[in-house]
Chains A and B, each alone.
Chain A
């Protein structure tokens, strides 16, 4: 009897915990205005800063600007429409090559001149040709295409533009005569030049992380409350010290801007950077995402993938 009770309790607990969970593609949050302008830029002055986990003092001998937020769905939809009208991109079936795999996808695509190839072991050749920028029919896209016009789903319009390949992110920045930031530029913008107890800042806002600092795995942010454990993206600039009032209560954020006033440099979405490293061609991403544990939100941590990769947890911002 005891054994049956134990097994039944265990089974009930298991089933209760595993009720069908919504996919990122299937949920729609309410529109939330954060008050942060995604069109704004922050100036980063020339000078040295502690780079990487071991704080190597590295000099950046020029001023540059970085977008205050990641590119939003609305901004990316605008780019796609402008570029389509200008003939810089096309929409349709395009061949995608990754490793030894080749497949076809429907989406927005355009020309990329390719990367220098060294023939190194495991090196993947990035050939010149048409490359996928944004898959229009994949699970999890927040920009729709009706055959003529791209539109951001209204509730997601100020969320980071996700599901964009590195080619697509690079094309966006280049279309406006900007560029993707290098890893060094990205990290300097994220942590600034300050040393605390001889170390550079591990997080854009300081030395420790609280759950209301950023959108990451198990941070129990607003969208985790709404949609379950894995959560979702938050609108850009969400963690700015505001208290958001919603139907089921308030949610207070901490102001988590970097020393240069740049938002979302930790959590929410991984961000493509511009460097092409020889003999591999993986593109690095920085910042961690809503799927990442807090350790991946430390400013020096990186992720990498081929430039054809797209994901609901990868976005980008530009530098100039």
Chain B
């Protein structure tokens, strides 16, 4: 019994354990539902899985199933980001526990009943529970926003802090987290209101199917705005998280945080105003420039930091010594690199499409345009996932060769896969339909190999973590104890602060 209690406490009461469970849940969802499309269909795996698990795949409900699947994965990813934030950003212990507990129950209910509704018979009681789960995740978001309120006295930065702050000590990084959390809540509410009209005014659709329709309804526009901004805010959150992890600070931090704050506000306003405002896209572009500049400053800082640390012992490091230092730790190099790579496969493609829309892309058939649209946001979502994995691998204490193999395999294989997907989606620029078979074969194969190997490495990592749980003195014990220690230290600090406050209050009264 004690065996189970200890593991339960680790998995559901510590940040590392909670993150491990959530990554396992996403892995499980990917492993099961990833077999229902792509090469798995060609290899016959889909039919086998459907038969084995007794799934009910009604052809007309496919788009609905996909939407449920995206939502359950998104809930879990949001939960992981929230776990990271509650550990990285100072807040009271009871707040951390309340937030993590609520969001965990929320996303698990969402995943279990959402998938049960979508893939096993459309039982509307399950749909109700799916909504309950999402509501709990939303409620956890409100708690998070309250915990992140930046103007509380105890979270003021000292005047000599290397982190961005105002003259009166307002911690701008905390403001950025707070603005991101509030924007996410607003955007989620926006989606919830639009979604509530489902079967009561609008019908299930995938945004990429409507792209050429000049007559989109307000509800359709609202949902398109919602899905774009939610993914963007998840990307903004992970950028802030890795910034905190790698101790992003100094002059670049002081420039980046105001950009990130204003960019988040502008981009959210732009995405949500797409329903009513003709110039919404222009607003989004302005916000994107701010956010991307902030991310660029993070990349410059993090790579500079890696080079400085790696060449600290060398008096005058050469160019190659600097490069070697930069690449010495793929886990810390990875987040910045994936953000740079994102420009070639996501942002660059998006800008190229916007500039050449009528000249090139609207000349192609809709299916070709659709491939680019779905491809570029799948890549963005997957890049975010790899950055989460880098951080969690670091938290898990991956060291030595295992760290290098894990880091480089994830970087190289994901980059091969995403570059291949990008070439596949853009193939009409350089090959006709009649001559495309070789290009399709190569790009699909490289995509499969890249994704396959990256997932194999993830699976090895997860199996290692699973086996570790059976060890009496496994890595999990250290993580668990360090979590307890960290919490205890934080509690002591909190008590000291409270004691000081009470003493000041007493002094005030005695006056």
Residues in chain A within 8 A of chain B (CB atoms):
10, 14, 17-18, 20-25, 53-55, 98-101, 120-124, 138-140, 199, 202-203, 207-209, 218, 228-230, 279-280, 282, 285, 291-296, 298, 302-306, 309, 311-313
Contacts and interface: CB of A to CB of B under 8 A. Distances in A.
A140 B434 contact: yes
B60 interface: yes
Nearest to B41: A218
Interface of B: 37, 41-42, 58-60, 62-63, 203-204, 212-215, 357-360, 362-367, 432-438, 440-442, 445-446, 449
A20 B437 CA distance: 9
B432 to A, nearest CB: 5
A54 B59 CA distance: 11
A54 B203 contact: yes
Given A21-B437, A312-B433, 17 more contacts: A17-B445, A18-B445, A24-B437, A54-B60, A99-B362, A100-B358, A122-B357, A138-B434, A203-B59, A209-B59, A230-B436, A279-B214, A280-B212, A298-B59, A298-B62, A303-B365, A311-B365
A302 B208 CA distance: 12
Contacts of B367: 292, 296, 303
Contacts of B436: 23, 230
B434 A25 contact: yes
Contacts of A295: 59, 62
6 contacts: A14-B449, A53-B63, A123-B214, A202-B60, A218-B41, A298-B62
A121 B357 CA distance: 12
A285 B365 CA distance: 10
B363 A99 contact: yes
B445 A229 contact: no
Contacts of A124: 358, 362
B294 to A, nearest CB: 32
Contacts of B442: 18
A305 B366 contact: yes
B438 A20 contact: yes
A9 to B, nearest CB: 12
Given A17-B445, A18-B442, A230 B362 contact: no
Contacts of A24: 433-435, 437
A25 B365 contact: no
Contacts of A311: 365, 433
B439 to A, nearest CB: 9
B432 A280 contact: no
B436 to A, nearest CB: 8
A313 B63 contact: no
Contacts of A280: 212-214
Nearest to A100: B359
A14 B445 contact: yes
A18 B441 contact: yes
A278 B62 CA distance: 29
Nearest to A306: B363
A203 B60 CA distance: 10
Given A98-B363, A303-B366, A207 B441 contact: no
Contacts of A309: 363, 365
Contact of B435 (A17, A23, A292, A303): A23
Contacts of A228: 437, 441
B434 A139 contact: yes
B421 to A, nearest CB: 16
A229 B441 contact: yes
Nearest to B431: A23
A303 B367 CA distance: 6
Contacts of A208: 59
Contact of A21 (B362, B365, B432, B441): B441
B443 to A, nearest CB: 10
Contacts of B42: 218
B201 to A, nearest CB: 12
Cβ-closest 3 pairs across A and B: A140-B434, A202-B59, A139-B434
Contacts of A10: 449
A243 to B, nearest CB: 22
Given A303-B365, A305-B366, A282 B212 contact: yes
Nearest to B57: A208
A21 B59 CA distance: 32
A173 B59 CA distance: 33
A140 B365 contact: no
Nearest to B63: A53
A134 B325 CA distance: 60
Given A18-B445, A101-B363, A293-B41, A140 B63 contact: no
A29 to B, nearest CB: 15
A230 B440 contact: yes
Contacts of B204: 53-54
Nearest to B432: A139
B386 to A, nearest CB: 21
A51 B394 CA distance: 54
Contacts of B62: 295, 298
A280 B446 CA distance: 37
Contacts of B60: 53-55, 199, 202, 298
Contacts of A285: 365
Contact of B358 (A22, A99, A139): A99
Contacts of A139: 432, 434-435
Contacts of B438: 18, 20-21, 23
A304 B365 contact: yes
B304 to A, nearest CB: 32
